[in-house]
């Protein structure tokens, strides 16, 4: 799999804020940018990418198809529009953003359309986001020989998604963890703080290192340059088995889920 282990998330970042954050991230050494049609910031990210001077081959760009564009032709047309906004000839990875199990467009149609986008060269890799185990099985069946590059899902110390993680590991499906910091909750957690002190680190770095050690990719976000720089250090933080066991004990299950739109979510495992 070529999905980078570490990238920049841009959820909720718009206008001049996303321009500044992406520019700072590229300057600091980030080489993976995660966006989505629904984030309404692809055009601003495209401006920064073009002006950055960083060679296109060095930056891995991910976008996601929003549910309103799941019909075959709408998916292909909207991805072309995303490419125009991002000022790219091809994105590195395109994801189905939410499964929308009871929506007007069946998964067979939007997954087949995603595979067609790959065949047309609009995207180098394809994947999904927020899919449960049943959804992953279905995606593989529909996509056939086209590899599923990743399933991007909410994973953090309080929602560890153990059944999904075990299935993905067994089936060789890569996972990308989003909201790895639980929207900042890890910063005030006594267990995370204690582990951080022992390593001369921050709780955010500990949470990211925990996810990385499990083999997940992470896409943290911040509006502050110093936090963007600090997050990168997580890549070199080596947690002990005892650290991992302590974090394992923070699991709260479904009560801790943050992203859970009723109209789009699957039945969580």
Over the stretch 143-180, which tens digit does the pLDDT of each residue have? 999 999 999 999 999 999 999 999 999 999 999 999 99
In this prediction, residue 180 carries a pLDDT of 98
CA distance 57 to 244: 35
User: Domain for residue 158, yes or no?
Assistant: yes
Residue 80 lies in a domain: yes
Output the pTM of the full model: 0.97
Position 1 confidence tier, pLDDT thresholds 50, 70, 90? low
Instruction: State the average pLDDT for the chain.
Output: 97
Note whether residue 91 is domain-resident.
Answer: yes
Q: pLDDT tier at 41 (50, 70, 90 boundaries)? A: very high
State the catalytic residues.
Answer: 39
Contact status, residue 5 vs residue 212, Cβ threshold 8 Å: yes
pLDDT (average), residues 256-267: 96
Question: Per-residue pLDDT for 28 more than 90?
Answer: yes
Whether 244 is covered by a domain: the verdict is no
Q: Classify residue 73: in a domain, yes or no.
A: yes
Whether 22 is in a domain gets the answer yes
Q: Give the model confidence (pLDDT) of 216-251 as tens digits.
A: 999 999 999 999 999 999 999 999 999 999 999 999
Residues in a beta bridge with 125: 93
β strands within the chain, DSSP E: 8-9, 32-34, 60-65, 91-96, 123-129, 148-154, 175-178, 217-218
**Has residue 30 got a pLDDT over 90?**
yes
Q: Are strands 60-65 and 91-96 parallel, antiparallel or unpaired?
A: parallel
What's the rounded Cα separation, in Å, for the pair 266 and 243? Answer: 32
Domain count, the chain: 1
CA 17, 23, 25, 28 torsion: positive or negative? negative
Task: Give the per-residue pLDDT at 203.
Answer: 98
Between CA 156 and CA 232 the distance in angstroms is 17
Distance separating alpha carbons of residues 204 and 190, to the nearest angstrom: 13
Q: What pLDDT score was predicted for residue 207? A: 98
* Residue 167 belongs to a domain: yes
Per-position DSSP letters for 214-264, written without gaps between them: TT-EE----SSHHHHHHHHGGGG----HHHHHHHHTT--GGGG-----TTT
**What is the Cα–Cα distance from 7 to 20, expressed in whole angstroms?**
16
Beta-carbon contacts of 3 under 8 Å, excluding residues fewer than 6 positions away, are: 60, 93, 125, 127, 149, 150, 174, 176, 217
Tell me the average pLDDT across 65-92: 98
Amino acid 189: pLDDT = 98
d(CA 103, CA 114): 17
CATH number reported for the structural domain that contains residue 75 in this entry: 3.20.20.100
Cα separation, 68 vs 190, whole angstroms = 42
pLDDT reported for residue 124? 97
| Cα 112 from Cα 146, distance rounded (Å) | 10
Please answer whether residues 202 and 193 qualify as being in contact, where contact means their C-beta atoms are separated by less than 8 angstroms: no
Overall average pLDDT of the 78-88 stretch? 98
What's the pLDDT at 143? 95
What percentage of residues in the chain have a pLDDT greater than 70? 100
Q: pLDDT tens digits, residue range 130-144? A: 999 999 999 999 999
Q: d(Cα 14, Cα 3) in Å, to the nearest integer?
A: 24
97 is in an annotated binding site: yes
Angstrom distance (rounded) from CA 143 to CA 125: 12
Report residue 81's pLDDT band, with 50, 70 and 90 as the boundaries: very high
- 222 lies in some domain: no
What residues make up the domain containing 70? 8-182
Mean pLDDT of 5-28: 98
């Amino acid at each position: 799999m070529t999905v980078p282990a570490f990238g920049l998330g841009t959820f909720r970042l718009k206008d001049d804020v996303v321009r500044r954050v992406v520019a700072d991230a590229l300057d600091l050494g980030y080489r993976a940018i995660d966006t989505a049609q629904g984030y309404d910031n692809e055009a601003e990210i495209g401006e920064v990418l073009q002006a950055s001077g960083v060679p296109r081959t060095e930056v891995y760009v991910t976008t996601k198809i929003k549910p309103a564009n799941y019909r075959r032709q709408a998916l292909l047309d909207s991805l072309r529009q995303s490419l125009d906004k991002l000022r790219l000839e091809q994105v590195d990875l395109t994801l189905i953003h939410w499964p929308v199990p009871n929506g007007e467009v069946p998964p067979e149609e939007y997954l087949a359309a995603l595979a067609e986008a790959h065949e047309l060269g609009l995207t180098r890799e394809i994947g999904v986001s927020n899919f449960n185990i049943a959804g992953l099985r279905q995606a593989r069946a529909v996509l056939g020989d086209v590899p599923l590059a990743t399933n991007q899902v909410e994973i953090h110390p309080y929602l560890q998604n153990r059944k999904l993680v075990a299935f993905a590991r067994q089936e060789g499906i890569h996972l990308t963890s989003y909201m790895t910091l639980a929207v900042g909750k890890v910063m005030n957690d006594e267990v995370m703080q204690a582990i951080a002190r022992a390593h001369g680190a921050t709780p955010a770095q500990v949470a990211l290192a925990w996810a990385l050690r499990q083999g997940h990719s992470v896409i943290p976000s911040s509006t502050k340059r110093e936090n963007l720089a600090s997050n990168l250090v997580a890549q070199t933080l080596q947690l002990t088995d005892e650290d991992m066991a302590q974090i394992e004990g923070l699991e709260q299950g479904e009560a801790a889920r943050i992203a859970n739109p009723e109209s789009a979510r699957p039945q969580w495992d």
